[in-house]
Structures are given as structure tokens and as C-alpha cells.
Structure 1
């Protein structure tokens, strides 16, 4: 796996790929999509959920002068994998079932019934969707409370209401 400055992943790319693939009802289809397009559409609500955060909210929360510093900072703050999709959206992967607790209007909680374009585990830079914080350990996800705090800080700095 390529190194981007984040803490080295402790498990193999194969284990992370298999864990992600099994979010799909037909895991071979997810693996085929990664092989063909480097992106697989995975249903949320089976193994993980996600929060769709506008990139400007994230940048306002982190206030770092160097975009390259965002990955390590997010890893430290959230403790789990984060996907960047173009320059507009960031998706921390979170444990199942947080929709009932999610109160922010500045970011959307995506759970059962939603789908997410998930890049191949070694896609660590553009073009296309990529891992800002890679999936290092199968099942290790971002803490929802920390994601909520990050969104709250970023939205407050931009003057947007969060609840």
C-alpha cells in the first residue's frame, strides 16, 4: 500500500478490501467494480454508515494551511477511514445506527437505503474518489460523536447553524 504520511495501516489491503466487499450483497460484484472502475457502489446500513460533510465545513473546522496535513489530522481526530469525493464532499465512515442521534443540518447522515461510491483501498489520491484516511483495519470506523463535533465547529466558523 502507498504511504501518504498517515500512520501505516496495520492490516493488509486484502483484509480491508474483503471487509468492505462484504457490505455488498454480492461481494464479487464489489470486487469487479474496483477492478474495472477503482470505485464500487456499496450499500450503507449493513457494515457501516457514512456522514456526508461539505468540504468547506471540514476545512473550516481543521483550519490547516496545508491540505496535505488534513489526512493525519483527521485520522487523529476521528480515528477511522475518510473518503474524499471530488473537492465538494468528505465521507467519514461511521458505525451503524447513528441516524437517530444525528442532529446536524450542516452535514447529512447516510445510513440504510443509501449507497456510497467507495474507492479501492489503495486509492490514496485523486483523480476520482480517494481515501483521505485509508481503511486500515476491517471494522475500524470513525467515532460518530467526534464527527459531529467536527461538523459543529466547521459550521460555526462558517456561520451555519448545525441544529
Structure 2
């Protein structure tokens, strides 16, 4: 659902400072992390405590959305909107160079979902947690200026701690897997 105040793929101006503080609090030195964000547009944040991430290849998301492979800007917009709807506006980062989505989930996900995560690896999906760092783009990195960012927020974080529900993520992966199997038949 598109807010009258906030365009798709952007963070609410009212929540931006709180979301920024929450994300940066995952870093052992939040002010240093803030500086890295300012210099590089991205900061490496440790996973497994505040949040973890499920890495999903773009092709699997394309399959779940039943879209044909294309590098067209409008297809990417449709994918971002599809992820927002499918994951109930939970936060997702897109790495343009590696063509992978990083769905932000609760920190305990890799431990609690290790059996499912092991079966997902055959699809190129990985559940990232402790001892892993994620490049998190600045909050103003969005689809509006994709040429400026190596990664951007496909679905912005609505508020501090508002993460994706793992059940929704599992359904997304299952739909992508099912649709890939149908195409292969």
C-alpha cells in the first residue's frame, strides 16, 4: 500500500532517525558506522543479534512473482512492489551487482530455521546470521536513483525493529520453487 506522504521504496521521514539509530545500534561503534554510511553510502553491520538476513536470488523472486527475466526498470519496480506486498512491507535490501535480495528477519532465524535453510540452499537461498556482516545502504538509497547505489532498499524498514515474518519469507521461497518446477516440466 502506498502512503500519501511516502513514495514507494522510501523511508518515512518521520521514522528515519529512529530506524537509523536502531540499525546502527547493531554495530559496536554506532557513530563510526554512521560515518561509514556518510562516506561510502553503505555500512557493514553484524548479523545474528538485532536482525539476520535471508539472501534470495533475483531469479527466484522473479519466479515467485511469475515475471519473465528482464533487466527493465519497470520489472524491478514490480518486483519491489511484489516483495512489499508478499512480505507485508517488511524490509528488503537489493544488491544490484550480485542480483540478490536480502530480507531482514529476526536475529534468531538462522538457528530456529536451520533445517528449512539447509533445504533452501539448493535454490541459492542462504540464511545469514552470527559471524556474518551485511552491507546495509543508507536509508535514502532507493529505487528512485538506482545508478547511484550498488545496493538499495527495495522495501524500506517502516519502523525500528519492524522485520519480515519468517513464515512470509518461507512462503515466498516455496512459491518461487514451485513456479520454477512448473516451468521445468
Please tell me the TM-score bracket, short chain as reference: 0.7 to 0.9
Q: 1:89 to 1:7 in 2, by over 3 A?
A: closer
1:81 aligns with 2:102: no
CA distance in 1, matches of 2:85, 2:12: 14
Equivalent residues in 2 for 1:3-14 (5 A)? 3-5=6-8, 9=12, 11-14=14-17
Distance 1:98 1:135 in 2: 18
Larger radius of gyration: 2
Give, in whole Å, the separation in 2 of the partners of 1:48 and 1:115: 11
Unaligned runs of 5+ in 1: none
Say which structure is richer in helix: 2
| CA RMSD between the two structures | 2.2
Name the counterpart of 2:126. 108
**Aligned pair count?**
159
Mark the runs of 5 or more structure 2 residues left unpaired by the alignment: 69-74
> Which stretch shows the higher mean deviation, 97-106 or 54-63?
97-106
**1:145 Cα shift?**
1.1
Q: Normalization by structure 2: what TM-score?
A: 0.78
Secondary structure of 1:159's counterpart equals helix
Structure 2 CA distance for partners of 1:116 and 1:5, relative to 1, 3 Å = same
- Once residues 151 and 10 of structure 2 are traced to their aligned partners in structure 1, the CA distance between those partners, rounded to angstroms, is 20
- 1:1-38 CA-to-partner distances (Å, cap 9, x unmatched) read x9543587374211111110001111112101110001
Go from structure 1 to structure 2 and tell me whether the alpha carbon gap of 1:8 and 1:98 turns closer, same or farther (over 3 Å shift).
closer
Q: Match of 1:57?
A: 60
What is the TM-score when the length of structure 1 is the normalising length? 0.88
